[in-house]
Amino acid sequence: MNSIKKILSVSVLSTTLLLTGCMTTDNSVELDNAISSNHRSAANKARDEFRHPKQTLEFFGFQPDMTVVELTPGGGWYTEILAPALKGSGNLYGAHYPDTGEDNYYSNSRKSLVKMLASNPIYSEVVLTDFVPKKESELAPKGTADLVLTFRNLHNWGEEGMQQMFKDAYTALKSGGVLGVVEHRMPASQSWKENMKSGYVPEALVIDYAKAAGFKLAASSDINANPKDTADHPRGVWTLPPSLALKEQDKEKYLAIGESDRMTLKFVK
């Protein structure tokens, strides 16, 4: 009898592991297909080396049937991956600056994003919402999001904007939902007040603001870390690729450093 129980137990365990492996593979395939798809330009694919999209999204717990909010998608680098990976099974909200009709960065950025989304049916299910820094914004219907993501945005919003974003994200997320943050990391040895315009943000400050909004820090990762980046460049983070703000001046030096050192933080509601 004991032998039969052991055989049954092993059989059940093997089946569970097999099913788990299949689910993991399926999710991995969704991301692999999106990342390798021909709709992504060669230039964008070249940045995978520094942005590690698959590892980053898996760290945040991405699943293809989730409701996901991407904050200020900008040129749509991550949208190119998220939209096809979620299409047909999940939902993607792009919470972006509104088009006020003015000729400024915010309105023009929204226009460019709208144009990009209209360029390919792969983006047909993306829903745009409005995100206004420093003002309360409905990123998605309250309590519906499984995952809110922000990639290299916090430095644009100032302290007040960061604080409001964390509140907005908390409102949009379900209980147990995840906020994933990737941001240029300012070394603890540098003064935040003296270097606010450098494009780098202190990790401790981000964690404090997230906790103040009600989040718990679930995990951090060095997926996007770059120990070569000293974060003390003449034009701030924009000195490094891909911006290369100094153009040909010391270009090889900054190419050798690569893209910025980045914190990767997973918060839970």
Mean pLDDT, residues 99-123: 95
Q: Could you tell me the two tokens for 21?
A: 């492996």
**9 pLDDT more than 80:** no
> Per-residue pLDDT tens for 214-255?
999 999 999 999 999 999 999 999 999 999 999 999 999 999
Contacts of 33 (CB under 8 A, 6+ apart): 84, 85
pLDDT at 26: 57
Distance CA 44, CA 109 (A): 18
pLDDT band for position 47 (50/70/90)?
very high
> Per-residue pLDDT tens for 183-226?
999 999 999 999 999 999 999 999 999 999 999 999 999 999 99
- What one-character-per-residue DSSP string does the chain give? -HHHHHHHHHHHHHHHHHHHHHHHHHHHHHHHHHHH-TTS-HHHHHTHHHH-HHHHHHHTT--TTSEEEEE--TTTTTHHHHHHHHTTTSEEEEEE----SSSSHHHHHHHHHHHHHHT-GGGTTEEEEE--TTS---SSSTT-EEEEEEES-GGGTHHHHHHHHHHHHHHHEEEEEEEEEEEEEEPTTS-TTTSGGGS-EEHHHHHHHHHHTT-EEEEEE-TT--TT--S--TTGGGGSTTT-TTTTTTHHHHHHH-SPPEEEEEEE-
Q: What are phi and psi of 78, to 5 degrees?
A: -80, -25
How many Cα atoms sit within 13 Å of 92 on the Cβ side? 29
Percent over 90 (pLDDT), the chain: 89
pLDDT at 168: 98
Q: Length of the chain, please? A: 269
pLDDT at 27: 67
pLDDT at 2: 44
pLDDT at 75: 94
pLDDT at 12: 39
Mean pLDDT, residues 156-164: 97
Contacts of 89 (CB under 8 A, 6+ apart): 64, 65
The mean predicted confidence, pLDDT, of the chain is 91
pLDDT at 15: 37
CATH number of 2-268: 3.40.50.150
At which residue do the structure tokens 């709709």 appear? 39
Mean pLDDT, residues 35-54: 96
pLDDT at 28: 80
